[in-house]
Amino acid sequence: MAADAARNTRILAVCGKGGVGKTSISAALVRGLLAGGSRKILAIDADPAVGLATALGMNVEKTLDDVRNSLIDRLESGAKEDRRDLVSLLDYEVFGALVESGGLAFLAIGRPETEGCYCQINDILKDIIGSIAGSFDYVVIDGEAGIEQVNRRVMETVTDLLLVSDASAKGLNVVRTIRDVSARLVEHGRAWLMLNRIRGAAELDRLALPDGMDLLGWVPEDENVRLTDIEGGSLLAMRPGPALEAVAACLPRLESAGTERSGQPLKMK
Amino acid sequence: MALFEKQFTEIRDFLKQREGTSAYREFVHAAPASWPSGMRRSVVLAQDMAVELGSPQEESSSCLIWHDDPARVRDGHITLIGPDIGESTGKGLPFGKVVLVSADGFNEENSYDRYRELDGVRYDLDLKGYMMRAVSQYQREWSRVSAEAVKDGFSFGVLGGSLIDALRRKEYVRAVEVIFVTASRGDVSGLVPIADGAMRIIGALNKMLQELEFDCDTCDNTDVCNDVAELRSMREKLMKKGETGHGR
């Protein structure tokens, strides 16, 4: 069912080193996609810091971690559930954790899953998110910093990895690492490079970009974004500026690339 | 098999108390329901929604019970107490649903599995513009209907008819009746103890099949078994089979 549903869904995972602006890029992508008309968009904040909620002006009352923990408490207090009951209960609770605004639904993951006795719950939650995601036109996942989520196979069915870096060598090295790891783990899909807070074309020319990656675009430093971040404001409500325009300009290429290759989701090997 | 004799009687009493009021109406589902598939993309967001039924903020109750006597189930009948989907004045309504099934061949060994199969049918309904989330453990059902579906005529007649059609496809099902309640929180909460009672019997049935020991002194469900003669009879049959090595 999830596979059928996911057939036409573009799942964009935004990854990169901490501090390079993944959350702002994710929020700007959501804004650009919302501006594109009657689309259903699911934004998933997979960063435990839950920064995307603020960047989208969403008030989160319940995270996926809360859902998981309340079920674990229930099971530890003696409730016996078979798999179908667990699925329906978790599906109900996860849907209840979605925050909605117009064509946008938002889900915060909260604390990352812990390994151990609750693999079944974690697996079911992944299936449920996959199933819910399949009902949307676009899913934008703001990943946690670094490589861990790709390693843990959190992003199992993404169609597009958006690897974000600033101009720093450290940021670009993390992009290379994520690209290498994802190339080992991922069968289909596309990895894009997106550069953030670039001080003009001359700076871009000086950067040693990773080989073999499509540069989707670069986003200039933008005082509006910085001030919005400082104030804890929403990028959805921010007045247009060069950063938002640069992200919006990337979308046609991203979208047309999706239609060229039939939107096949990435599958982990 | 009359596991739910008490609940059937309570449901009939519930309906009788409301019959003749302006909120009460009945439909007969004659022809197979025809509604386009949702193509498994069933999320209805608030912005696209015409009505929300039994949300976590509202009263909600849902249960399915069965009886071996076809005369206890008015096959194809859909009863609605309260506004239909297209008549809702607000976006949120309390929601109660009772599905009555008459079926052949339920016994001590297959009853729980068949219950699961019948209960699972609602999850397989894939109707365009209709989204449903349900928790059997809490007997809650939460659904949304899109404005587009309402404009195209989606109603409890369509929903109930689709459910009846799907349940009738099970070879052991002889008759299906569906009751929807949207009139008020009070009306829906009138269904809650009935659904709770049914769920306790189903829980006892499951426990009986899962656990090989039948120690009534330590069992949480003794009161349920004491109330329901059919459960006691099933337990005795299972105990005998266990003693003779023909258990499950």
pLDDT digits (tens, 9 = 90+) for B3-58: 999 999 999 999 999 999 999 999 999 888 789 998 777 789 999 999 999 999 99
* Distance from the A128 Cα atom to the nearest Cα atom in chain B, whole angstroms: 12
Minimum mean pLDDT range among A88-102, A109-123, A129-143, B103-117:
A109-123
- Cβ contact A84–B42 (<8 Å): no
In chain A, the residue whose alpha carbon lies closest to the alpha carbon of B55 is A96
In chain B, the residue whose alpha carbon lies closest to the alpha carbon of A91 is B133
For residue A221, the model assigns a pLDDT of: 92
Asked if B124 is an interface residue toward chain A (Cβ–Cβ < 8 A), one would say: no
How many A-B residue pairs are in contact by the CB < 8 A criterion? Answer: 49
Q: Would you say residue B192 has pLDDT above 60? A: yes
In chain B, the residue whose alpha carbon lies closest to the alpha carbon of A95 is B133
Chain A residues closer than 8 Å to B41 by CB: 5, 8, 134-135
Measured over the CA atoms of residue B21, residue B24, residue B28 and residue B31, the dihedral's sign is positive
pLDDT digits (tens, 9 = 90+) for A238-258: 999 999 999 999 999 988 886
Alpha-carbon span B95 to A23, nearest angstrom: 39
| Strand A160-165 to B92-93 pairing | unpaired
Q: Strand, helix or coil at A7?
A: helix
User: A interface mutation test: which of B118, B131, B133, B142 has the most A CBs within 10 A?
Assistant: B133
Complex ipTM > 0.85: no
For residue B176, the model assigns a pLDDT of: 98
Average pLDDT over residues B165-172: 96
Average pLDDT over residues B208-224: 75
For residue A212, the model assigns a pLDDT of: 80
For residue B12, the model assigns a pLDDT of: 97
Chain A residues at the B interface, defined by Cβ less than 8 Å, are: 1, 4-5, 8, 40, 79-81, 84-85, 88-89, 91-92, 95-96, 100, 102-103, 105, 132, 134-136
The gap from C-alpha B170 to its chain's centroid, in whole angstroms, comes to: 15
Asked if B123 is an interface residue toward chain A (Cβ–Cβ < 8 A), one would say: yes
Average pLDDT over residues B206-215: 73
User: B interface mutation test: which of A88, A90, A124 has the most B CBs within 10 A?
Assistant: A88
Average pLDDT over residues A202-219: 90
For residue A130, the model assigns a pLDDT of: 79
Nearest to A85 among B43, B137, B210 (CB): B137
Contact B24, B79 (CB under 8 A): yes
Output the pTM of the full model.
0.84
B67 or A68: which leads in pLDDT = B67
Q: Taking the CA of residue B141 as centre, how many other CA atoms within 13 Å lie in the half-sphere pointing to its CB? A: 24
Minimum mean pLDDT range among A99-113, A169-183, B205-219:
B205-219
Minimum mean pLDDT range among A230-234, B75-79, B189-193, B206-210:
B206-210
Concatenated DSSP letters of A176-241: HHHHHHHHHHB-SSEEEEEEEEE--HHHHHHS-PPTT-EEEEEEE--HHHHHHHHHT--TTTSPP-
- Cβ contact A102–B47 (<8 Å): yes
A128 or B122: which leads in pLDDT = B122
List Cα–Cα distances, B142 to B50, B131, B133, B148, in angstroms: 14, 8, 5, 19
DSSP-assigned letter for residue B223? H
User: For residue A255, which of A157, A137, A141, A142 has the smallest C-alpha distance?
Assistant: A137
- Cβ contact B45–A89 (<8 Å): no
pLDDT digits (tens, 9 = 90+) for A61-99: 999 889 888 888 887 877 777 778 888 888 899 999 999
For residue B218, the model assigns a pLDDT of: 75
Neighbour-count burial of A96, counting CB atoms closer than 10 A to its CB (0-12 exposed, 13-18 middle, 19+ buried)? middle
- Cβ contact B133–A91 (<8 Å): yes
Q: What are phi and psi of A71, to 5 degrees?
A: -70, -40
With bands split at pLDDT 50, 70 and 90, how would you rate the model's confidence at A147? low
Contact B162, B125 (CB under 8 A): yes
Q: Would you say residue B238 has pLDDT above 90? A: no
- Cβ contact A92–B135 (<8 Å): yes
Q: What average pLDDT is seen over chain B?
A: 90
* Distance from the B99 Cα atom to the nearest Cα atom in chain A, whole angstroms: 19
In chain B, the residue whose alpha carbon lies closest to the alpha carbon of A92 is B133
- Kindly give the residue spans of alpha helices, DSSP state H, lying in chain B: 5-18, 111-124, 147-151, 156-168, 185-189, 192-210, 222-227, 229-243
